[in-house]
Amino acid sequence: MSKFPPIVWVFLGALVIAQATWIFRDARLRRESYAWLWGLFGLINVPSSLIIYILVTRRGNVQCEQCHKSIPQESHVCPYCGKKKDE
Ligand SMILES: [Zn+2]
């Protein structure tokens, strides 16, 4: 651990903050219910937090045309606003 020069830790710290910020903004844009929680999650680890976030949020989800919430691909009606999805 201590064999790394301080600049490496500064770099890693900046990377972690950039990652957390990106995840938080992306989660808020996608109207995820727990955007801030995702942001905190992004602070834990680089880059596995980012990989997990992308896998979880991108897996089989589509955006509702009406309320823009992320809904499961297989659902025919939006669980948030009740809009029927056109196939
Ligand atoms: Zn909707």
Ligand 1 midpoint to CA 30 (Å): 12
In a 13 Å sphere around the CA of 17, the CA atoms on its Cβ side amount to 6
Ligand 1 midpoint to CA 70 (Å): 8
pLDDT digits (tens, 9 = 90+) for 20-77: 999 999 899 887 788 999 999 999 999 999 999 988 877 777 888 899 888 877 788 9
Domain boundaries, the chain: 6-59
Ligand 1 midpoint to CA 80 (Å): 5
Ligand 1 midpoint to CA 73 (Å): 12
